[in-house]
A and B are shown apart, each in its own frame.
Chain A
Amino acid sequence: MRFTHWIIASLLIGLFACQKEAKLETEMNETIYLRSDKHDMPAFVRGNGASKVFILVLHGGPGGNGLEYSFGNYAESLESRYAMVYWDQRHQGNSHGSLKDEDVTLDKMVDDTYNLIRLLKERYGSDISVFLFGHSWGGTLGTAFMVKDDYQSEVKGWIEASGAHDIPMLNVELVKMIKEIAPVEIAKGNNTSDWQEILDYANSLDINNITFDQSGQLNQYAHRAEGYIQELKSGSDGSTGLVKYFITNPSNAAVSGLNGAQLPQSFMEDVENASFTDELHKITTPTLLQWGKYDFVVPPALGYSAYDKIGTSNKTLKIYEFSGHSPMNNEDEQFVADIVDFVEQYK
C-alpha cells in the first residue's frame, strides 16, 4: 500500500511541480507542450528569457527534432543572449498522439508554428520579440509560414539557414553544383573514385524530370560530397555533444528517430514538390539568409535566389566560406555574430 502511495505522490509531484507561472529568467529551462488536433508537441525553452527575445527553431528533416539544435557552441552562445525555443514539429521528435495521414501536411505544420508563436506570447508576455529560425527543412516550413496570410506579422524577423524553400530548384542546383565541383576535386586527386561516382550519377539525371527516388539518392550523395570537402572547418558538436544527446537530453532519441522515419509517404511526396520561390515577394519582414559555400544538401544558389526575390529591403545574405550544410557548427562564431547583429537591429 505504501508503494502505491509513493507512486501516486511521485506522479502528482512530477506533474504539478513544473506547472508554475512563467518567469522570464536569464537561465530558463522548461518544457511546454502545444496540443493541436489532439497531438502534443513539446517545445523546450532554454536560455536568456529576460532578454525578451525568443528565437523559435524550426528543425530540419523532415524527421528531425528540435533539441538536435541545442548542442554546439553556437547554441550556448545564443542561449546566453536570448531564449531559444527548440520545438518538435508534428509527427517528429517527441511529438505524440494519434494522427491520420491527412493530419500530416505542411499547411497544418504552418498553423502549428503560428499557434506556437501566439502561445509563446501568451505565456511569456505580448511584449516579447519572436524571431523565426529555420534550418534545412525548417527553411521550407518557415518560408511557408512567412508567405501564408498575415502570419509573418507575428515575428520580428525571419532567419533562414540553408533553407530548402524550393525542393525542385534544390535538386537542379545540386546537380549543377556537383558537375561544377566534382571535376575540380577529381583534378586535385581528392577522393577521386567517390567524386567520380557522384559525378556519374549527376550526369545520368535529366534535370527537368528528377523523380522522388532520384531526389532521395541525390540527397545521400550531397551529404557524402560535403564530407569530402577539405576546406570545411571542423564542427563544434563533437563527441561531448553526442554524449549529451543520448544521455542527458530530454529528447528520447529512439522514439524521435522512429517517429520521424514514419512520416506518411503522401506528406513526403508533397514536400518533394514544395516550391515557394514565386511567393518570396510576399515576405516583407526583415530577413537574414545564412548559407555555407559548400552546402551540397541545399546549395547556396537557393540563398542567392531568395535574396533576389524576398520582398523587403531589410534583407542580408551571408555566405560562409568554410561551411557546408550546417554553418552554425562549421563557423559558429561568425554565424552567431550575424544572428546577434540581425536580432539587435530588429528586435
Chain B
Amino acid sequence: MKKIALLIFMLGSISISKAQSLFEGTPITIGYFGHWGIHPGMKIGTDLNLKSWQKEKEKKKITVTKTRSLFVSPELGFYSHNQNHQGLLLNVDIGYRKIKDRFGLYSAFSVGIGYMRQFNAGVTYDAQDDGSFKKKALPSRGYFLPTLNYEFGQEINQRWGWFGKFSVGAKMPYNTGVVAETYFESGLRINLNK
C-alpha cells in the first residue's frame, strides 16, 4: 500500500512538472460531504480560476515554484444526518490557493456563502389551531449558511487530483440566534478537458 502511494506521488510530481495545472479550465469536484465523515452524503462542484501567478524561490540551489491563485467554486451538496434531517446545500466559495511545485500539494482557504434547505427526518405533524394535527409533506426550512473553509489536496496529474476540506458554517437565523455547522468533504478533482 505504501509503495502504491509513493508511486502515485512520484507520478504526480513528474506529471505536474511537465504539464499544465489541473486547476486550469473548469475541473469538477465530486466526493463525500457530510457531518464529521460519518453521515452519508455527496457534493459536486467546479472551480473557476479567477487569477493565477507564480513565485520562484531558491532553496539549497534548487528553484522552487509556487503557484498561487484566486478561485471561485460553486457547489451543490446533499447529506443525511441519520434520524435528524437531510440537508441540501447550494454554496459558492471564494478563496486563495497555494500550490507547491513538488508533488502538486496544495492548500486553500476560502469563505463561502450558502443556502441550506433542511428537511426533517421522519414524519412532521403541524399542530393546528383547532387542536388537530396535519401531516406535512416535504417538511423543510431554509437557512443562510456562510462558511469558512480549509482545503488541502494534491494534483496527481493534469487530469486528476484529490482533496479534503473542512468547513465551519453559521446557520442563520436559527431560532433566536445562530448555530454552527461543521462539515467534512473528501473526494476527487477531475479535469474533463484534459
Interface residues of A (CB under 8 A from B): 3-4, 6-7, 10-11, 14-15, 18-19, 29-36, 39-40, 42, 44, 91, 94-101, 104, 115, 118-119, 122-123, 247-248, 250-252, 254-255, 258-259, 262-264
B175 proximity list for chain A (CB < 8 A): 39, 91, 95-99, 104, 259, 262
Return the contact of B80 from the options A14, A252, A258 (Cβ within 8 A).
A14
Q: A-facing mask of B157-193, CB < 8 A → 1, else 0? A: 0000000000000010111111111100000000000
Known: A11-B88, A96-B118, A250-B81. A40 touches B179 (CB 8 A): no
- Name B residues whose Cβ lies closer than 8 Å to a Cβ of A: 30, 35-36, 38, 42, 44, 76, 78, 80-86, 88, 118-127, 131, 133, 136, 138-139, 141, 171, 173-182
Question: Which chain A residues lie closer than 8 Å to B139 at the CB level?
Answer: 33, 35, 40
Question: B180–A98 contact, CB under 8 A?
Answer: no
> Do the beta carbons of A35 and B86 come within 8 Å of each other?
no
Chain B: CB-nearest residue to A255 = B179
Given A35-B139, A95-B175, check contact A251 B122 (CB 8 Å): no
Chain B interface secondary structure, helix, strand, loop or mixed? strand
Q: Using Cβ atoms and an 8 Å threshold, which residues of chain B touch A248?
A: 38
Interface secondary structure of A, over-half rule = mixed
Contact among B125, B138, B171, B173 with A15 in the assembled complex (CB-CB below 8 Å): B138
In this complex, the member of A11, A36, A39, A248 whose beta carbon has the largest number of chain B beta carbons within 10 angstroms is A11
B78 touches A36 (CB 8 A): no
Q: How far is the CB of B10 from chain A (nearest CB, A)?
A: 32
Given A3-B30, A15-B119 in contact, is the A31-B83 Cβ separation under 8 Å? yes
Closest to B40 in A: A10
Q: With contacts A11-B119, A15-B119 known, is A252 near B84, CB below 8 A?
A: yes
Most chain A CB neighbours (cut-off 10 Å) among B35, B85, B88, B136: B85
CB distance from B134 to the nearest CB of A (A): 9
Given contacts A91-B175, A252-B84, contact A18 B121 (CB under 8 A): yes
17 A–B pairs (Cβ distance < 8 Å), ordered by A: A7-B44, A15-B86, A15-B138, A18-B122, A18-B123, A19-B122, A36-B127, A42-B121, A44-B83, A91-B176, A119-B125, A247-B38, A248-B38, A250-B81, A250-B121, A251-B84, A255-B181
A contact residues around B121 at 8 Å (CB): 14, 18, 31, 33, 42, 250
Q: Which of A31, A101, A104, A251 has the most CB of B within 10 A?
A: A31
A15–B118 alpha-carbon span in the complex (Å): 11
Q: Are A97 and B125 in contact (CB under 8 A)?
A: no
